[in-house]
Amino acid sequence: MIVGLIDSGLGMLPTSAWLKKLRPELDLILLMDPDQAPWGPKPDDWVVERVLGAVDRAMAAGAGVIVLPCNTASVTALTHVRAHLGPAVPVVGTVPAIKPAAAASNRIAVWATAATTASAYQARLIEEFASDRAVTPIACHGLADAIDRGDAEGVTAAIRAAVAATPADVESVVLGCTHYPLVATEIVAALPSGVQLFDSADAVARQTLRRIDELGDGDQGTGAVSVSLSGRDGFLPASALAYAEGRLLAGVQPVHQ
C-alpha cells in the first residue's frame, strides 16, 4: 500500500512523520509544489486544478490512498478529489482540531494563515463545535512561509507577533495550519505556561491507517519515502531537515512517474 500526501510545502511533514512512526513499513509519496507555493492566496479553481494534477501523479506512481495534510487543499479541493477518484480510493482530508480543543477548554485561540482565518470554512467549524466558547482567530502572518524556508529568525518573529495578538487568558491554541506543528516546541515556549496545543496531524495519520486497514491490503510495503517537486522527481528540500519530522523522513528515493 502506497500513500500519496499532497501539500504545496512542508505542511505535510507532521502527518507524514506520524505515519512513519505508527507504521514504518508504509510506502509514502510526498507531492510538494515549490514552484507555486503557497496555495493559500491562490483562486479556488486554480488550487483544485493543481491538487488534481498532483493526485493524478500520485495514482500513476502507484498510490492507493490520498491524503491532503493541508487546510487549503482540504477546504478547497477535498470534494473534487473524492469525485475525481470515486469511492474505491480512500481520500483523507484535514480539519483543524477545534472540536477537541472546545471539549477541553473554554478560551481558545485558533492560529492559522490569513486566508484560513478569513475563511467561511473556519467560521463554520467554530460555530459548529465551539459556539459556546470564547474563540479568538489569530492570523499568523508569515509563519508558514518562514517554516517552509527554514528561517528560524522569521519563525521566531511570526510566533512573537501571534502571541502578542493572543488573549493572555487563553487556555488552548489550535494550530490551524499543518505547518505549525513543526515549530510546536517554540510555540509552547512563547505562550503562557499551561496553554495546551491542539493539532490534527496525529488524528489524520490514524484515520489514514484505519482506511488502509479497511481495504485489507496485505502488502505492507518497504518503508520507502519518495518525493515529487511540482511534478519532478526529487528529494526533500534542505529546509525540511531543520525539523525533526523532516529528518525522520530524509532517507528518500526519487519517485518515477
- Whether 140 and 180 have beta carbons less than 8 Å apart is answered as yes
For the chain, the straight-line distance linking the first and the last C-alpha, in angstroms and rounded, comes to: 17
- Whether 60 and 35 have beta carbons less than 8 Å apart is answered as no
Say which residue the cell 488573549 belongs to: 167
Nearest-angstrom CA–CA distance, 235 and 134? 43
User: Vertex 98, ends 93 and 104: CA angle to 5°?
Assistant: 135
Q: Which three cell numbers stand for residue 92?
A: 483523507
What is the Cα gyration radius of the chain?
17
Sign of the dihedral through C-alpha 122, 123, 126, 127: negative
- Which one from 13, 65, 70, 138 is the annotated catalytic residue? 70
Please list, in sequence order, all residues whose beta carbon lies within 8 angstroms of the beta carbon of residue 116, skipping any fewer than 6 positions away: 40, 71, 72, 75, 96, 122, 176, 177
Assess whether 177 carries a catalytic annotation: yes
- Which one from 65, 177, 204, 225 is the annotated catalytic residue? 177
Q: Quick one: which H or E segment has residue 31?
A: strand 27-32
Assess whether 70 carries a catalytic annotation: yes
Nearest-angstrom CA–CA distance, 21 and 248? 9
Please list, in sequence order, all residues whose beta carbon lies within 8 angstroms of the beta carbon of residue 174, skipping any fewer than 6 positions away: 96, 97, 98, 101, 108, 109, 110, 111, 198, 199
- Whether 64 and 39 have beta carbons less than 8 Å apart is answered as no
- What residues act catalytically? 70, 177
